[in-house]
Amino acid sequence: MTAKKATDKRGRRTNLWMYADDLERIKSLAAYAYTNGQRANDSLVVRAAVAVLAASPSRKFLDALEEVAKADQRFTSKE
């Protein structure tokens, strides 16, 4: 009989490319949570948003994804 392998529940550090307005939205959502009795840091806000979208993806998400991809200036077309 083999012992169960312990799973690591700790997250890992990651970098995300965000614009100032993205960060403002995250801060605004954290403030909303605080006014409703929950303290949330940026990481918790992002994780909660991902959980909500994963549970119920919609066309609205795909439309928003398309819009932010158009505004992403890290990659420029070579013409």
In a domain, 38, yes or no: yes
Query: Are the CB atoms for 9 and 3 separated by under 8 Å?
Result: no
In a domain, 12, yes or no: no
Q: What are 14-47's pLDDT values in tens digits?
A: 888 888 999 999 999 999 999 999 999 999 999 9
In a domain, 47, yes or no: yes
Range(s) of the domain holding residue 54? 20-71
Identify the sign of the CA torsion 43, 46, 49, 55.
negative
Residue whose entry in the numeric block shows the structure tokens 């806000």: 45
User: Is the pLDDT assigned to residue 79 strictly greater than 60?
Assistant: no
Lowest mean pLDDT among 23-27, 48-52, 71-75: 71-75
Pull the structure tokens for residue 20: 């100032």
Query: Are the CB atoms for 17 and 74 separated by under 8 Å?
Result: yes
In a domain, 62, yes or no: yes
User: How many domains would you assign to the chain?
Assistant: 1
